[in-house]
Structure 1
Amino acid sequence: MRSKTLRSKTWIMKLKNLLLLFSTVFFSSCMNEDDMDTTMDKDDMEMSADMDEDQMTMYMGEFVSDAHPTSGKVNVNTNKNILEFSDFKSDDGPLLEVYLATDTKASEFITLGELKGLEGDYEYDLPDNVDFEEYQYVLIWCVDFSVNFGYAKIE
């Protein structure tokens, strides 16, 4: 009886090994040579370096409340021509505008126009050649009362 159980276990182990070998051969035969070639040519390496550089220069931040509850995320796309709001939310007010500013008091600013909405995802066109080392703040600014509803520091 014991010998029969031992033979069954041996047979099952051989079957498992055979299935493993078969599946390895089967799946590796499905791959083409392009999938297996992992070397990068010079152009691929330069493109990868350019992408890394673009990602390093991308600016982003999170809104924090100032005079009114304000939240969400903001980022500048890699081409630096679009300012993107995501999951944005703020209170309503008279004439709210989006500013790029040097500080939270809007001492020096670039207006991107009126706030497009109080809740959601929005995009604003950026002027050419904005210096984001100088204009580090995105403000939700109430023009009528000169009040900062909320801001994000983009880094």
Structure 2
Amino acid sequence: MKKITFLILLAIIFSNCSGTDEIETIFEQIENEENIMNETIFVMGDFIDGAHPTSGKVAVNSDKTVLTFTDFKTDNGPKLLVYLSTDANSTQYIDLGDLKGVSDDFTYSIPSNTDLLKYKLVNIWCVDFSVSFGTAKLK
């Protein structure tokens, strides 16, 4: 909130000294800050290596409907799926679908009524070899 107030004050001060393009840019930055503050994350975690090097961040939105991968990276492999699981061995899991790629940012829909206290691991699961490429614990 202090950042937004500061940016508004800067916009007012610079409005006397600068053109309208710069003022519009400042107001766009303020809007972006507000949007980021309004997007609440329910849980998040960092990927750790399993059978293959895996890195990146994962987060679940406050509505518990979307799982977001950020700066994700792992090795390529046969039939890689994204699971919400109870453990790294995927004893119990919810299948979110095929891994969309081995590096980038991705989103997956979370089925309604998913118990994220029970299914607290995001697991990159290789079906052909029954191994986890990497996991992230949601906390």
Equivalent position to 2:107, from 119, 123, 131 = 123
Counterpart of 2:135? Answer: 151
Instruction: Give the distance between the partners of 2:45 and 2:83, measured in 1 at CA.
Output: 14
Pairwise CA distance, 1:145: 0.7
Higher helix share: 1
Counterpart of 2:73? Answer: 89
Pairwise CA distance, 1:78: 1.3
Pairwise CA distance, 1:59: 0.8
Aligned length: 105
Correspondences of 1:105-144 after superposition (within 5 Å): 105-144=89-128
RMSD: 1.9
Aligned residue type for 1:87: D
TM-score, reference length from structure 1: 0.64
TM-score, reference length from structure 2: 0.71
Instruction: Give the distance between the partners of 1:66 and 1:118, measured in 2 at CA.
Output: 14
Percent sequence identity is 52
Larger radius of gyration: 1
The 4+ residue runs of structure 1 with deviation greater than 6 A are: none
Structure 1 stretches lacking a partner, 5+ long:
1-26, 28-50
Instruction: Give the distance between the partners of 1:76 and 1:134, measured in 2 at CA.
Output: 14
Counterpart of 2:24? Answer: none
Structure 2 stretches lacking a partner, 5+ long:
1-12, 14-36
Instruction: Give the distance between the partners of 2:55 and 2:115, measured in 1 at CA.
Output: 24
Aligned residue type for 1:69: P
Q: Deviations over 1:33-78 (max 9, x none)?
A: xxxxxxxxxxxxxxxxxx99x94x7010000001000000000011
Instruction: Give the distance between the partners of 2:116 and 2:56, measured in 1 at CA.
Output: 19
Instruction: Give the distance between the partners of 1:81 and 1:66, measured in 2 at CA.
Output: 26
Pairwise CA distance, 1:79: 1.1
Correspondences of 1:21-100 after superposition (within 5 Å): 55=40, 58-100=42-84
Aligned residue type for 1:105: N
Aligned residue type for 1:74: V
Higher strand share: 2
